[in-house]
Structure 1
Amino acid sequence: MKKSLYALMLGGLGIGITEFVMMGLLPDIASDLRITIPEAGHLISSYALGVVIGAPLLVILSGKYPPKNILLFLMLLFTIFNGLSAFAPSYTSLLISRLLAGLPHGAFFGVGSVVASRLAPKGKEAQAISIMFAGLTLANIAGVPLGTYIGHHYSWRLSFAVIVLVGLITLVAIRYWMPALPANKTNSLKTQMNFFQRRESWLMILMIAIGTGGLFSWYSYIAPLMTEVSGFSANSMTYILILAGTGMLVGNIVGGKLADKISPAKASFVLLLTMVTSLLIVHFVSYNQVLSLIMTFVTGAVAFALSAPIQMLMINNAKGSEMLAAATSQAAFNIGNALGAFLGGLPLVFGFGYTSTQLVGASMALIGALIAWVLIGMFRNRKSAIQNTADKITPLQASSPAKTEICPT
């Protein structure tokens, strides 16, 4: 594997830790800053808002610079803003620093996805992207449990110090391992914004926001599901989350290979349908500890198998604005995070059990799969229209030497 992909994976590791470690640190932060748990929960929402704002904005502003310079700048912002979080003296300052820390998240993955696809051998672009996203899965396996342990036993501020350290290591890795790819000088604001003028773009965004929301309907409530329904002790949750993270790592690798073998749209459709099936099985087997553990691994694998296909789907259908499209997919993913957690919690408000959240998640994944099916049809029709046009033009070109020179087939 190329060292440049390791640099992207390190970036994914740092981003994954800072995004997911907050779930485990909420009680410690709430106690230290003398706020309630719901107030501390706003720190998660603040980060997600930063991702949604920063993903398209930073890519648009930096689009004409060389990719290596953009990645260095984004990781510098990441490191500085997480450093501010470590020293935040109050709840308000921490809320702001978390918003700022979320800004480079989507842009880094957007630019990194395009860079990874350019560095990959032909036909293995999705697998290269999956290596970058492996950093997120490694964060769930090791980084988040470590950060949570440090926060519980020492200080949550030290957890952010670890994140800053990962950011510094990533900066060095990008500086020395990343090749100097040329900047896209024709990447004007108008060219980039054309992405949002296509129906396919908005359908892809909807597919990601709604379809991946199915994951978060399950994952947001995995702790009470496993303790209240499956009967595991609270102390077992660390190991259960590591199991889910291991599934995400395996699924991420499988998803990359699948997207290289079949089209990203078809891979997304298949995986979203598989997520529907997986969540329905979780709903019915959660009362059995062995089966619930198996499905924790399987559901994590299915969910993260979507990462590479989704990124390739956006990149392949955004000529001239690939980085913006890939970054926007991360913004949509975080909208899915908030949407899945909110909608998944509604049955609980009305008194239903923790297994009901999987029904919400399965419904969201099914809607995402239907949108993917519509996209497949649109791409097929577009390809047929292009082919028909080519078939009509070719005879004319053959009969006109002058035109053949101007517009060769």
Structure 2
Amino acid sequence: MHTTAKPSIPVSVYVLALGIFAMINCELQVLGMMPQMARDLEITISQVGYLVSIYAAAMALGGPLLTLGLGSQPPKKTFYLLFALFVIGEILGALAQGYPMLIVSRLITGAVSGAFFGTALGTCHRLVAPELGIRAVAIVLAGIMVGTILGLPLASLVGEYYGWRASFWFVVALAVLAALGTAALLPALPAAAKIGLRQELAAFRNRQLWSVFATSFCVIGATYAAFSYFVPILTQLTGLAHNSVTWLLFAYGITMLIGNHIVARLAGPRNLRILATGMVLHSLFLVLLALQTHQSWAAVIAVLGLGLTGISMNPAMVSRVMQVPNGERPLVNTVHASVITLGIMFGSYASGQVLEWGYSLHSPMWVGIAIAMTGLLTLLLDRARPETPAASEPLRAGAATPSTHP
């Protein structure tokens, strides 16, 4: 009696997640070494902080340009080139003797990260059976969450014991390991059909795509409006000790991973419902944190709930992009990653601006709620649009036309 083996996730998908993990470590590493870098390079703490913004800006603007430049290459060759550029950029950071060289390093690594995210998301569902497309995306995105959980502590630990430059070399080692894994385990997929620049950009004329981007912008913006100020909120308002905050943030990361897994299991035809539910719950947890900040039990519940309903919406957001005609293209996914990065920057900036206006540390929660409500409005507008056949089918691997696309 013959039994048909169930399709499984190949190890190459996990290799792509390792690459993203390395790049998230790169993005966050300077935050864990601010005093050491400022002292050694004779710069201010704020200048070190700007390195994160420079990375994010390069990712948002340089990532799509780099993706366009490499678009005609087979995925494996593209990854080789991206890893090579990334390692060069990170080595420049490790060897930097002044602030300008660090800026150059962050511009290179940021642009590479943006292109890598889009290429990885565009490749991962070519590696699996159609019904496993969303799970593969979730595994790749888990690299972001694990990097968020471990990136700061690792950088802080390595920087404290071995100096801040050692952290850069550590990320270089991670990237080389991911590159070797890619060489050994990623199959040699053919290049996607060559698309002219005009045709590539034509995908962005679809109004629905921009509605999808707007929702993703709001989901992430609402998350980072409060997350950016968790430490002062929890220490100054809730009164938690710094070591308790560290453990709570670690638990926050664990709930992100759990939420990512749950959303990946449910995403597909239910994307609108999942995102709407996530934003409503996220808003309720922000209300709880804003109104009961001084109660430690409420703060713990709110923070864990925010982890479960914030960044963990990523699989549904990516799946929703894939459901738009031509949404599987690497450039579309790279621009989506750029939109998410801009959402991070906007959420943090909006809360910081409100605080500068003299409002209390409760205000980041209300800023997050306002952004989340705007996100709900984008979903309502999308819901009112007549559903297309392409948007009603499940996520398909390697789809290229509306008739075969999600």
Fold match (TM-score > 0.5): yes
Distance 1:281 1:205 in 2: 28
Q: Which residue of 1 aligns with 2:33?
A: 25
Q: Which residue of 1 aligns with 2:354?
A: 347
Q: Which residue of 2 aligns with 1:389?
A: none
Pairwise mapping of residues 303-314 of structure 1 onto structure 2 (< 5 A)? 303-314=310-321
Q: Aligned pair in 2 of structure 1 residues 320, 131: CA closer, same or farther (>3 Å)?
A: closer
Distance 2:281 2:236 in 1: 26
Moved more, 364-373 or 332-341: 364-373
Deviations, residues 22-53 of structure 1 (Å, cap 9, x unaligned): 22222222222122222222111100011012
Pairwise CA distance, 1:321: 6.0
Pairwise mapping of residues 95-244 of structure 1 onto structure 2 (< 5 A)? 95-244=103-252
- Say what the alpha-carbon RMSD is for the aligned residues: 2.0
Distance 1:178 1:91 in 2: 37
- Aligned partner of 1:332 among 339, 348, 351: 339
Do structure 1's residue 378 and structure 2's residue 385 form an aligned pair?
Answer: yes
Unmatched 5+ residue regions in structure 2?
Answer: 1-8, 393-406
Distance 2:391 2:34 in 1: 54
Q: Which residue of 2 aligns with 1:271?
A: 278
Distance 1:263 1:68 in 2: 32
Moved more, 118-127 or 77-86: 118-127
Do structure 1's residue 83 and structure 2's residue 85 form an aligned pair?
Answer: no
Pairwise CA distance, 1:322: 1.8
For 2:248, the aligned partner's letter is I
Q: Which residue of 2 aligns with 1:283?
A: 290
Q: Aligned pair in 2 of structure 1 residues 109, 3: CA closer, same or farther (>3 Å)?
A: same
Q: Which residue of 1 aligns with 2:367?
A: 360
Unmatched 5+ residue regions in structure 1?
Answer: 387-409
Distance 1:161 1:238 in 2: 25
Please say if residues 22 and 171 of structure 2, whose CA atoms lie closer than 8 Å, have aligned partners that are also in contact. Answer: yes
Distance 2:327 2:289 in 1: 42
For 2:254, the aligned partner's letter is T
Distance 1:255 1:317 in 2: 19
Q: Which residue of 2 aligns with 1:253?
A: 261
Pairwise CA distance, 1:18: 1.3
Q: Which residue of 1 aligns with 2:16?
A: 8
For 1:73, the aligned partner's letter is L
Please say if residues 285 and 303 of structure 2, whose CA atoms lie closer than 8 Å, have aligned partners that are also in contact. Answer: no
- What secondary structure sits across from 1:124 in the alignment? helix
Please say if residues 200 and 375 of structure 1, whose CA atoms lie closer than 8 Å, have aligned partners that are also in contact. Answer: yes
Distance 2:229 2:10 in 1: 37
Distance 1:302 1:245 in 2: 12
Distance 1:277 1:5 in 2: 35
Pairwise CA distance, 1:207: 2.1
Q: Which residue of 2 aligns with 1:69?
A: 77
Distance 1:95 1:292 in 2: 37
- Greater share of helix: 1
Please say if residues 217 and 341 of structure 1, whose CA atoms lie closer than 8 Å, have aligned partners that are also in contact. Answer: yes
Larger Rg: 1
How many residues are treated as equivalent by the alignment?
A: 384
